[in-house]
Amino acid sequence: MTTPSEREIVLTRTFRAPPRIVFEAWTQPEFVKRWWAPKSRGVELVECRADVQVGGAYRYVMRAEGNEFGFHGQYVEISRHTRLVYTQVFEPFPDSPLLITVTFEEHEGQTRLRSHELYPTKEARDATLASGMEGGMRETMDQLDELVASLR
């Protein structure tokens, strides 16, 4: 994870599966339910809907310690298995939408994923970093890697 500017977070990870599988695991609710919430922290995904088409919407709701936290957004650009651009709103902060661009690049049968998050302000980005998202993100990326390796 890097922070190339005061409004950006960039996550880069290589997964043990081709882009087709990683893209599907990233976008299809039946797979997202299996990796998106950090399980060791007692977090579960209790709602997962996605209409994966340009202009389509998604909504994920996590539950932790009896509290629910929703995320939603809209798909802006889709190039199947190579690129995905979408908005994301963390529902407690509806005025701080971010734009996420994810690329899926094949390299020797694996996928190099790059997720670029552009926040509306430095403060919104800093609040995300202060929330402990880096540890949770590492765990969910490990869960995604396990899932896609099993789907090969």
Cα–Cα distance measured from residue 132 to residue 147, given in angstroms and rounded to the nearest whole number: 23
CATH number of 8-151: 3.30.530.20
Give the residue extent of every domain in the chain. 8-151
Q: State yes or no: pLDDT of 60 exceeds 90.
A: yes
Cα–Cα distance measured from residue 94 to residue 146, given in angstroms and rounded to the nearest whole number: 32
What's the pLDDT score for residue 132? 82
Q: State yes or no: pLDDT of 40 exceeds 90.
A: no
Q: What is the pTM of this model?
A: 0.94
Q: State yes or no: pLDDT of 136 exceeds 90.
A: no
Q: Which is nearest to 85 in space by CA: 53, 110, 40?
A: 53
User: For 18-30, what is each residue's pLDDT tens digit?
Assistant: 999 999 999 999 9
